[in-house]
């Protein structure tokens, strides 16, 4: 949409949360924004059916994740694309998995767009950790078990050392234990051994843990185990990214319920 008063034909940019995968978990606002978009920059974990159902014919769709076969598109390139398209007057939607402001660098994108003088709005999505717990029928908080929840990344800040991360897992474990908090760990599967060892400094080995892969999608799978079996359980079940690890007493009873491995979808909330 051109704004004649501007030196540029300034369009707009909206960061849209696509939710955890199930298209029915999109918000109505997200659907409207996708339908209005003339340019869509789409992350890896966004379901193709969302685009085929809601993107307008003729909209330019750019996949900026790893699915194309190559390494993920550099962040600076994605941001330049968004800024250029918005300056050309396009209605740009940046479609991101889950919620745009839970990991995934949404905060940085908004800063850079605003610095470039582009109007930028954000539409929330259901974050993967929430969907993962709900799909098992488990709340993230509970008056008897957890007074709060921590969303934390298990991904090492890139550098030479494989999983030499900035997260102080021991401090986090002690706090989770003392303050009774549920931990929801994103991007933690690759570093599960390290995370397990560190968390065991502050949390008992029998603390319940669940790992949920492809939450909300038909191919969803999960394991329910204990913290001292986190890495072993992941390896035995062959779980891989994208998955979230949930740690805490809100999961008590889940192992006893003995939900089998396999397709979980449709069990709760999805």
Q: Give yes or no for a contact between 211 and 255, defined as CB atoms under 8 angstroms apart.
A: no
Structure tokens at 146: 């957890």
Say whether residue 212 binds ligand SAH (CB under 6 A): yes
Say whether residue 128 binds ligand SAH (CB under 6 A): yes
- Please tell me which residue in 66, 157, 168, 206 is annotated as part of the active site: 66
Active site residue 1: no
For residues 255 and 1, give the distance between their C-alpha atoms in angstroms, rounded to a whole number. 54
For residues 97 and 89, give the distance between their C-alpha atoms in angstroms, rounded to a whole number. 25
Of 8 and 101, which has the nearer Cβ to ligand SAH? 101
C-alpha distances in Å from residue 30, one per residue of 19, 26, 80, 153, 185:
9, 6, 23, 25, 25
The H or E element spanning position 226 is strand 221-226
CB of 215 to ligand SAH, least distance (A): 3
Question: Could you say which of 87, 145, 194, 214 contacts ligand SAH (CB under 6 A)?
Answer: 214
228-267 binders of ligand SAH (CB under 6 A): 241-244
Say whether residue 20 binds ligand SAH (CB under 6 A): yes
The whole-angstrom distance between residue 165's C-alpha and the CA centroid of its chain comes to 19
Question: Could you say which of 215, 224, 234, 251 contacts ligand SAH (CB under 6 A)?
Answer: 215
The whole-angstrom distance between residue 225's C-alpha and the CA centroid of its chain comes to 22
67-106 binders of ligand SAH (CB under 6 A): 96-99, 102-104
Residues catalogued as catalytic: 43, 66, 187
Residue numbers at the binding site for ligand SAH (CB under 6 A): 20-21, 45, 96-99, 102-104, 127-128, 132, 186-187, 212-217, 241-244
């Amino acid at each position: 949409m051109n704004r004649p008063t501007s030196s540029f034909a300034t369009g707009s940019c909206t960061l849209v949360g696509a939710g955890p995968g199930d298209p029915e978990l999109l918000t109505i606002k997200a659907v409207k924004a996708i339908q209005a978009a003339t340019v869509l920059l789409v992350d890896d974990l966004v379901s193709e059916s969302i685009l085929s159902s809601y993107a307008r014919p003729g909209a330019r769709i750019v996949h900026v994740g790893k699915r194309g076969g190559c390494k993920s598109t550099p962040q600076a390139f994605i941001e330049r694309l968004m800024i250029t398209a918005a300056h050309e007057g396009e209605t740009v939607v940046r479609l991101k998995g889950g919620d745009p402001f839970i990991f995934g660098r949404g905060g940085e994108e908004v800063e850079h767009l605003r610095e470039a003088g582009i109007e930028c709005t954000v539409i929330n999505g259901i974050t993967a950790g929430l969907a993962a717990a709900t799909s098992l029928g488990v709340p993230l908080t509970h008056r008897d078990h957890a007074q709060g929840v921590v969303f934390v990344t298990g991904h090492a800040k890139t550098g030479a050392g494989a999983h030499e991360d900035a997260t102080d897992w021991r401090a986090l474990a002690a706090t989770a234990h003392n303050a009774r908090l549920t931990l929801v760990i994103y991007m933690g599967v690759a570093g599960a051994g390290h995370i397990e060892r560190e968390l065991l400094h502050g949390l008992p080995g029998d603390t319940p843990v669940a790992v949920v892969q492809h939450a909300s999608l038909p191919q969803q799978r999960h394991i329910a185990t204990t913290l001292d079996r986190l890495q072993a359980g992941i390896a035995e079940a062959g779980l891989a990214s994208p998955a979230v690890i949930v740690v805490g007493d809100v999961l008590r009873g889940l192992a006893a319920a003995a939900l089998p491995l396999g397709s979980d979808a449709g069990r709760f909330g999805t």
